[in-house]
């Protein structure tokens, strides 16, 4: 019997063109993925055509799911079979190791994985370590400044999701900041060797002591697909 508290789980994060949302959701439903969160965002990578037409960026669907590593590998294979990530600006999918979860969530993920018949899944995955996910949270309206700073340090693009911030009195007392309700959450997938420079540039431009009132942190990526489609991990 599997010890639920020691189960190895992955967070699978996908960012795809919104027009492919139904295809993505169908893959998850077909495979009975236990946990799935969907939200909307937009790409920050600029293109000449978009600037001429006056568009700010492509609409994106962002999904986050948690499951066993075996199911993650299977679902990644299914997503790759149904979505052509070789086309620029189609999207990316990557995994991050989950260090701990509640026993209930672990049990749900394990049971879902046990009900799945997984064969040998051979596909091209970028190995762990070369890429990191930089997550930046700033006051609403400052995502352009984030991306300007990030690109100065070598980033090619990212995805912005509008969110709501909830702060405590302790945050204001000890950090000297007031949590504004409207936030921009920016996701940037970047090579490991560019991570520190990008984060430092973001901090200088929109850190806690600026009007952007931003924070950023990074997470190591375990595996990924779609980052070799000509945009080096960015999402148009």
**Per residue in 37-64, pLDDT tens?**
888 888 765 544 334 334 446 789 999 9
pLDDT at 86: 86
Residues of the chain below pLDDT 70:
1-7, 44-57, 115-129, 165-181, 228-236
What is the distance between the alpha carbons of residues 186 and 169, in angstroms, rounded to a whole number?
25
What is the distance between the alpha carbons of residues 148 and 135, in angstroms, rounded to a whole number?
15
What is the distance between the alpha carbons of residues 51 and 36, in angstroms, rounded to a whole number?
34
Can you give the pTM of this predicted structure?
A: 0.77
DSSP state of 192: G
Q: Cβ distance 207 to 214 under 8 Å?
A: yes
Ordered domains of the chain (ranges, CATH):
4-124 (3.30.70.120), 131-220 (3.30.70.120)
What is the distance between the alpha carbons of residues 133 and 135, in angstroms, rounded to a whole number?
6
Following CA atoms 93, 194, 188, 18 in sequence, which dihedral angle do they give, to the nearest 10 degrees? -50
């Amino acid at each position: 019997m599997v010890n639920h508290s020691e189960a190895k789980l992955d967070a699978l994060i996908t960012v795809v063109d919104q027009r492919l949302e139904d295809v993505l959701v169908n893959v998850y439903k077909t495979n009975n993925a236990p946990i799935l969160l969907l939200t909307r965002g937009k790409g920050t990578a600029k293109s000449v055509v978009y600037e001429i037409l006056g568009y700010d960026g492509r609409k994106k669907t962002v999904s986050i799911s948690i499951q066993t590593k075996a199911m993650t590998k299977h679902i990644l294979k299914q997503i790759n079979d149904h979505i052509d990530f070789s086309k620029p600006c189609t999207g990316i999918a990557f995994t991050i190791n989950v260090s701990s979860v509640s026993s209930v969530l672990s049990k749900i993920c394990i049971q879902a994985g046990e009900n799945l018949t997984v064969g040998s899944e051979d596909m091209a995955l970028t190995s762990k370590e070369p890429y990191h996910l930089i997550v930046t949270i700033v006051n609403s309206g400052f995502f352009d400044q984030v991306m300007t700073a990030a690109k100065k340090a070598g980033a090619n693009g990212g995805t912005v999701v509008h969110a709501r911030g909830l702060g405590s009195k302790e945050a204001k007392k000890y950090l000297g900041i007031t949590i504004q309700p409207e936030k921009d959450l920016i996701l940037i997938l970047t090579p490991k060797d560019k991570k520190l420079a990008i984060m430092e540039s973001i901090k200088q431009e929109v850190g806690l002591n600026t009007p952007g009132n931003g924070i950023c942190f990074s997470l190591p990526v375990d595996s990924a697909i779609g980052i070799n489609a000509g945009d080096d991990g960015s999402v148009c």
